[in-house]
Amino acid sequence: MKITAEEFRIKQSGTLAEVVQMNMRSGLVDTCIFQVISGRLFITLGLFLMGLWAGRKRLFVDTPDHRQFFRQLLMWSGALAAISTGVFWWLTGGDIFAQLEGWTGVVSNTAFDVHQATLSAFYVAGITLLFWQTRAVLLHALVSVGRMGLTTYLTDTLFGVLVFLGYGMGQLGHLGMAASVGLGLVFFALQIPFSNGWLARYQYGPVEWLWRSLTYLKPQPWRKSRTDAVALNPQPLPPKARADA
């Protein structure tokens, strides 16, 4: 408890040096241990491999076959998510920290894992089909934010650090829940036009470009040519093909 109180004090009113020392002393170590014992490290690797496979298969390009695939995924993942969620709640009452023993614990943990995987698949399938079916303006606007995911994540982090931590505005523990969520939504809303404006001129977000350049050990082309714009924004299916789908 003393450690928790001290860490909260450092975050709320500590200097940048104190926060860095705290993160290096406990935060980084605890995070690495948690990544291993929780399986997150292996889950993250698996998700990277799934993304690589989906990209090479061009799974998110609108075609009749891909629509059928996502319809099936939506149906089966939704059914499994409902069943696994029901089993988990029945055994634990919805307490994700419940420590059950024996086969009851095995079943509840398995149900929770299936719930997470299938519900995620349900969301992916549903949003993909909605995007293809309606061509919603809001969903289109979010495409660029997703393509700049690392830049968006780090920018959000920087914004939160400057607002809440002690060497910024020090609002941790002072700003209420509703105000914090509202402030986060406003900042994210501002990132939408920024991301769209950036990717109208460049192929990658700034951090994505740096990461890609470090991966290939040489600077990558950054400015977007007309050919790049067409390749990165494939045209929707013609009306007849969309009707057949």
DSSP string, 153-164: HHHHHHHHHHHH
> Nearest Cα to 11, choosing from 181, 183, 154, 170?
170
> Residue 170: left if φ>0, alpha if ψ -120 to 50, beta else—which one?
left
pLDDT attached to residue 49: 93
The DSSP code for 223 is: B
Model confidence at 240: pLDDT above 70: no
Segment 39-63 mean pLDDT: 90
pLDDT band at 245 (very low <50, low <70, confident <90, very high): very low
* pLDDT digit string, tens, across residues 166-183: 899 999 989 999 999 999
Token pair 């994700």 is found at: 96
Supply the mean pLDDT for the chain.
86
- The Cβ of residue 132 has, within 10 Å, a number of other Cβ atoms equal to 20
The SS3 call for residue 202 is: strand
- The Cβ of residue 155 has, within 10 Å, a number of other Cβ atoms equal to 20
Model confidence at 68: pLDDT above 90: yes
| Amino acid, single-letter form, for residue 69 | F
pLDDT attached to residue 227: 56
Segment 91-101 mean pLDDT: 81
Segment 10-35 mean pLDDT: 86
Distance CA 244, CA 123 (A): 24
Which ranges of the chain does DSSP label H, i.e. alpha helix? 2-13, 16-22, 28-37, 40-56, 64-92, 102-134, 137-147, 149-164, 177-199, 206-216, 226-232, 239-244
Distance CA 59, CA 67 (A): 9
State both tokens at 36. 């291993």
Distance CA 59, CA 132 (A): 13
pLDDT attached to residue 4: 80
pLDDT band at 115 (very low <50, low <70, confident <90, very high): very high
Distance CA 192, CA 188 (A): 7
Pair 208, 161: CB distance under 8 Å: no
> Nearest Cα to 194, choosing from 233, 139, 136, 155?
155
Token pair 């940048």 is found at: 16
Q: What are phi and psi of 160, to 5 degrees?
A: -65, -40
The DSSP code for 23 is: I
pLDDT attached to residue 6: 85
User: Considering the entire predicted model, what is its pTM?
Assistant: 0.71
* pLDDT digit string, tens, across residues 189-209: 999 999 999 999 999 999 999
Q: Say which range, 39-43, 144-148, 180-184, 202-206, has the weakest mean pLDDT.
A: 39-43
Segment 10-20 mean pLDDT: 89
Model confidence at 244: pLDDT above 80: no
